Structure 1
Amino acid sequence: MQKRNDESGDDQEPYGEFARFDEITHNIVRLCNEGAHVMGVLAQRSRRDEGAYSVASEISEATKTLAEVAKQWVSDPARLAEAQRDLFQSYGTLWARTVRRMMGEPVEPVIQPDPGDNRFRDPDWTENELYDFWKQAYLLTARWAEALTRETEGIDEPTRHKALFHLNQILTAISPSNFPFTNPEVVRTTVSSNADNLVQGMHQLAADLERSKDILRISQTDLDAFEVGENLAVTPGKVIYQNEIMQLIQYAPATEQVFERPLLIVPPWINKYYILDLVPKKSLIKWAVEQGYTVFVISWVNPDSKLALKSFEDYMHEGVLTALEVVERQLSLHYVNAMGYCVGGTLLSAALAYMSARGDDRISSATFLTAQVDFTQAGDLLVFVDEGQLADLNEMMSADGYLDGSRMAAVFNMLRPRDLIWPYVVNNYLLGKKPLPFDLLYWNSDSTRMPAANHAYYLREFYQHNKLARGEMTIDGVPLELKKIRIPVYHLAAEQDHIAPANSVFIGAKLFGGPVRFVLAGSGHIAGVINPPERHKYQFWSGEPADTLEAWRRGATETQGSWWPNWSAWLSERSGVKVPARDPAAGPYPPIEDAPGSYVRVRV
């Protein structure tokens, strides 16, 4: 290529932009190739993305529900016209202010994002007139649509709830932050990298598609940064018992003296137990061991089709009650303290009601972490339990004998799409960045299957019919009555919980027959629970009994930091005297393998 000399005398390549053009052209070709690969993978998996909790099923549900809302508004054209006029007037105001701003006049925004809305944190969303216009137009439309749905007359509350849920999915998806040409950070990155970010993003989309099973699993963290038993779930212990559905782990003591009464933890079977044993600094199990408790935890199996008929009753008998029997024999003790997290708490509450009816007093206190026993206010998960969806789910599960973990994970992500779906779409696929290592999100991606019989029973009997709270549930012919559970209870809810809403947990806590200490933690379903004292994060509230959560909060005391010490102080009073520490290998159950065991390592 011919060279030229500038005034400084240095030789330079002319038309330096040609090299840039070549790079862009090369990246466009690469993007097309990666896109073709993605299309090929999508074509191969199109049939798998069907059934309950799939994109297709949720679009169908959204269409039906929002059609009910639209029908009511069409039947009142005058009111609809008034609502449309209000929207267009707000658009006019926004346009007029945008024009004035472009002419150099300072103007106040028509609308602002909610505090904590990270979609529009890039400075250009405010400083650039065009991006600011797109942002405000979107926010005006979204809030108008939400208000319209809330004010719809002629529909019942379950339909309104479903409509708002599906509308939120749509509105979150169409945010201008999710598109390459209307996101300022993506535009800048595309220009500066000559579109290499889009190539990398398409490559990462293809990789996510290939590793996904039934439903696309967007990478939320660096999956190569963690390994169970290496840097997660590393608290020392032994598996001392196992059967078809669980392994029981006893942890090695960290103190010379321990409390006499041990702690048996019942985690959710929907996810793996090591949410309670993440990296050592975040491990509730490790912390409890260091406080002098002898800790046992159930590690549920990751079931396959052979366990399709394992029922809720089986999980109670072969899980909770069998674990209780093993602990009793291992330590030669009658009384045990128990803890249940999320659906593990629901299972524990049913087991306690069963034991109370039969005069079994081996569990002397119970701790419930974000666990529901009354499901009348169970939040957005109620959207997925109408008769039609349960029928589709049962039909799908009957083919394999289980619900694949990817489908349940998709549901949980849909509860918070602004935080758990679209930020990763933008980061991974538009910006072409790899997600950062995060232990909690690694655990979130490490989902489990659920036996068809157990999962169908749980959704139908608890979520749909609320039988436990109503006193209508029986197991082995034994009526389950929560009011007959008269042991001391520590009941933790989380303020921003989308899975077990705080009000739902509060209502359920009032159904127990004994003394209940209700505590409300800051943050959500996971971060509110996994909040070690050393982090000095969030807060919790404690108070005296009240009729409603609102009344309870008015009289509650706020304490900064973790709820863990508060709970330990409560539990220690119910754990007996101090005794010499127990070696897991010294009991009548010979260790099978080291913690965390083999069941938890099975991935789907």
Structure 2
Amino acid sequence: MSIDEHQTDPLDGLAETLDHAAAAMVAQATHGLSPATLVQAWSDWALHLAISPGRQLQLATKLGRKYMRLADYAARRAGDPDTLPAIEPLPQDRRFDDPAWREQPYDLLVQAFLLTQQWWHAATTGIKGVDRHHEDMVAFAARQILDIVAPTNIIAANPVLQKRIVETGGRCLIDGIEHLFEDMSRLARGESPAGVEAFPVGETVAATPGKVVYRNELIELIQYEPTSGMVHPEPVLIVPAWIMKYYILDLSPDNSLVRWLVGQGYTVFAISWHNPGSADRNLDMDAYRRLGAMAAIDAIHAICGDAHIHALGYCLGGTLLSIAAAAMARDGDDRLASVTLLAAQTEFSEPGELGLFIDESQLNLLENMMWSRGYLDSSQMGGAFEILRSNDLVWSRILTEYLMGERAPMNDLMAWNADGTRMPYAMHSQYLRRLFLDDDLAEGKYKVDGRAISLSALRKPMFIVGTERDHVAPWKSVHKIHMLSPASIRFVLTSGGHNAGIVSEPGHRGRRYSVLDRVEDGPVLDAEEWLTRAEPHEGSWWTAWGEWLVDHSSEPVPPPPMGSPDKGYPALYPAPGHYVKER
């Protein structure tokens, strides 16, 4: 008699617990990076390179030519101090901007480093047979290793740092050590970085007057007080990402998108998310849709009557809004007037360098790390973003604060960035698997209430913003909404990155954007063709959005009441509420 194949093994529970615990320990030790993926990537690259003698010959020849270029530059430089360099840094690489780097012998160190960097890029890319994901990981890892040994990080090779040491009599190094100890002490005590105390929430930032008019276990809905006698009847709902505190859009009064919108004559509502803990581990994507976006839409509809809603989603909040809007369109719910997405992806086949951290092995490790706590901590999440921009967020800080002894002055955006949030286990696992890994939303496989939704059902006017230097939601990925929805779309590409490009108030120096409209059911342009046809403008994209909102809004009327007690939405307490202050 055979053993029943459906019989439960008494060791199942113990085995699963041991596996979870072991993987969680590995994840903690590696900060969420999968050793298996790294080994697979390097092995894939090394083995294919080993069986490619022609490629090896090419790389050896390239290496020889680069040494010859370096020698030629050194010879020309000895006779002519103004000779042109053999290689220039990439446009985004600002490490060698100081004129001191053009003095001998430091210019030779820079040239040697840049030529080496260029050679390693050639060595880690274009090897036939290597999996694309593995190639990206190896190239990325090589860049990280090279950045560690860059001349800027070595006292003996950095003339700018040497000058600073001489000018301060070595005091900068002492100050740097003090900064390092202070930061380590604050981190150990779970305190915010130095200077954050100058930006108290509800006073300096998140200070636009308003009331919390609805609260459930996941959100507080803030309604902001009108500043004009008349408002457009269509209210604006802001759905921020729960990966961040909502007040990225309500920073100081002079760069608050919320305050600016209120001043443009709109009734503005914003979702403030609860900061989840271990008890919230089972909150999933559908919970965020139901208790977040849809609960807010229900409340606004009750307070403002039959007016249609201009819905805005930022980053992950924009992805959630697109899901909610597609489900509403499928079900015949016509309460939206328009959809605005800021740096928000709806198609994830090319997520940029963030995709380096997303494969089956990485997700297994991440899920086990979250399993032990029930959430992903902001420090773990922030670490991944810092690695993506290590030159700007890691090495430049080490150089400036810990070697040169100079503290960067804290500003509202930096203080907000330090005010981290957590991500519940179920939601984050679903988000990464169903959207990033499987691309269910773009492929029509994402289900809401047991039925598939399609972004092709979205026909409300759309205003989409991408940012030029976005490492979280690359603009070319954001642009792919054109291929998923037949709606009329005004697409804007603005200068800046994922955060600073969005916080782009009118009058902000150096801001620019490009814009191009696509009519409903109009032809689709790929990102490169869009870029060649888009019309460039100087200034803030906020003004372009404001003009677009007016075109899709009705004539102003008296403002609605603050909340609606008779419909179950009383004004509970002043903005910014309680959830935003949760730690």
- TM, length-normalised to structure 2: 0.89
Name the aligned partner's letter for residue 593 of structure 1: Y
Partner of 1:547: 525
Q: Distance in 2 between matches of 1:513 and 1:105?
A: 58
Q: Distance in 1 between matches of 2:321 and 2:295?
A: 12
> Given the alignment, which residue of 569, 576, 580 partners 1:596?
576
Partner of 2:537: 559
Look up the SS of the partner of 2:502 in the other structure.
coil
**2:59–2:122 CA contact under 8 A, matched in 1:** no
Q: Which runs of 5+ in 2 are unaligned?
A: 1-22, 519-523
Deviations 1:224-247 (A, max 9, x none): 332211211111111111111111
Look up the SS of the partner of 1:248 in the other structure.
strand
Q: CA deviation at 1:583?
A: 4.5
Partner of 1:125: 101
Deviations 1:190-244 (A, max 9, x none): 3333433223222322332333369x9996x732332211211111111111111
Deviations 1:89-146 (A, max 9, x none): 423442454366457765432222223422112222102x121111111101001101
Partner of 2:4: none
Partner of 2:3: none
**2:303–2:560 CA contact under 8 A, matched in 1:** no
Partner of 2:164: 189
Partner of 1:454: 427
Partner of 1:3: none
Name the aligned partner's letter for residue 119 of structure 1: R
Q: Distance in 2 between matches of 1:218 and 1:443?
A: 10
**2:32–2:369 CA contact under 8 A, matched in 1:** no
Partner of 1:69: 45
Partner of 1:22: none
Q: Measured at CA, do residues 301 and 95 of structure 1 come closer, stay the same or move farther in structure 2, by a change above 3 Å?
A: same
Q: Distance in 2 between matches of 1:246 and 1:264?
A: 13
Partner of 2:178: 203
Q: CA deviation at 1:521?
A: 1.7
Partner of 1:38: none
**1:540–1:558 CA contact under 8 A, matched in 2:** yes
Q: Measured at CA, do residues 105 and 234 of structure 1 come closer, stay the same or move farther in structure 2, by a change above 3 Å?
A: closer
**1:49–1:56 CA contact under 8 A, matched in 2:** no
Q: CA deviation at 1:186?
A: 1.9
**1:253–1:294 CA contact under 8 A, matched in 2:** yes
Partner of 2:511: 538
Partner of 2:115: 140
Name the aligned partner's letter for residue 203 of structure 2: E
User: Are positions 1:433 and 2:402 aligned together?
Assistant: no
User: Are positions 1:351 and 2:324 aligned together?
Assistant: yes
Look up the SS of the partner of 2:202 in the other structure.
coil
User: Are positions 1:401 and 2:377 aligned together?
Assistant: no
**1:52–1:393 CA contact under 8 A, matched in 2:** no
Deviations 1:502-561 (A, max 9, x none): 111111233124222222222222222211112253222222433211222222211211
**2:27–2:34 CA contact under 8 A, matched in 1:** no
The 5-angstrom pairing of residues 104-503 of structure 1 reads 107-127=83-103, 129-212=104-187, 222-503=195-476
Q: CA deviation at 1:67?
A: 3.6
Q: Distance in 2 between matches of 1:374 and 1:279?
A: 33
Q: CA deviation at 1:565?
A: 1.7
Q: Measured at CA, do residues 549 and 78 of structure 1 come closer, stay the same or move farther in structure 2, by a change above 3 Å?
A: closer
Q: Measured at CA, do residues 165 and 497 of structure 1 come closer, stay the same or move farther in structure 2, by a change above 3 Å?
A: same
Partner of 2:498: 525
Q: Distance in 2 between matches of 1:309 and 1:450?
A: 11
Deviations 1:395-450 (A, max 9, x none): 11010000000111111222222222211111111112222122212222211100
Q: CA deviation at 1:78?
A: 5.4
Q: Distance in 2 between matches of 1:126 and 1:479?
A: 60
User: Are positions 1:584 and 2:557 aligned together?
Assistant: no
Look up the SS of the partner of 2:293 in the other structure.
helix
Q: Distance in 2 between matches of 1:49 and 1:259?
A: 54
Larger Rg: 1
Q: CA deviation at 1:586?
A: 6.5
Q: Distance in 2 between matches of 1:361 and 1:97?
A: 67
Q: Distance in 2 between matches of 1:544 and 1:101?
A: 51
Q: CA deviation at 1:368?
A: 0.8
Look up the SS of the partner of 2:163 in the other structure.
helix
Look up the SS of the partner of 1:340 in the other structure.
strand
Look up the SS of the partner of 2:208 in the other structure.
coil
Q: Measured at CA, do residues 465 and 586 of structure 1 come closer, stay the same or move farther in structure 2, by a change above 3 Å?
A: closer
Q: Measured at CA, do residues 116 and 500 of structure 1 come closer, stay the same or move farther in structure 2, by a change above 3 Å?
A: closer
Q: Measured at CA, do residues 591 and 445 of structure 1 come closer, stay the same or move farther in structure 2, by a change above 3 Å?
A: same
Q: Distance in 1 between matches of 2:345 and 2:29?
A: 22
Q: Which moved more, 1:296-305 or 1:51-60?
A: 51-60
Q: CA deviation at 1:376?
A: 1.0
Look up the SS of the partner of 1:572 in the other structure.
helix
RMSD of aligned Cα (Å): 2.5
Q: Distance in 2 between matches of 1:346 and 1:228?
A: 26
Q: Distance in 2 between matches of 1:568 and 1:121?
A: 38
Q: CA deviation at 1:311?
A: 0.6
Q: Distance in 1 between matches of 2:545 and 2:427?
A: 31
Name the aligned partner's letter for residue 69 of structure 1: W
Q: Distance in 2 between matches of 1:521 and 1:388?
A: 35
Q: Distance in 1 between matches of 2:91 and 2:325?
A: 42
**1:53–1:407 CA contact under 8 A, matched in 2:** no
Give the count of matched residue pairs: 554
Q: Measured at CA, do residues 392 and 515 of structure 1 come closer, stay the same or move farther in structure 2, by a change above 3 Å?
A: same
Look up the SS of the partner of 2:48 in the other structure.
helix
Name the aligned partner's letter for residue 485 of structure 2: F
Name the aligned partner's letter for residue 595 of structure 1: A
Q: Measured at CA, do residues 551 and 86 of structure 1 come closer, stay the same or move farther in structure 2, by a change above 3 Å?
A: closer
Q: Distance in 1 between matches of 2:42 and 2:411?
A: 37
Q: Which runs of 5+ in 1 are unaligned?
A: 1-46
Q: Which moved more, 1:580-589 or 1:191-200?
A: 580-589
Partner of 2:12: none
Q: Distance in 2 between matches of 1:362 and 1:187?
A: 63
Q: Which moved more, 1:397-406 or 1:273-282?
A: 273-282
Q: Distance in 2 between matches of 1:549 and 1:579?
A: 40
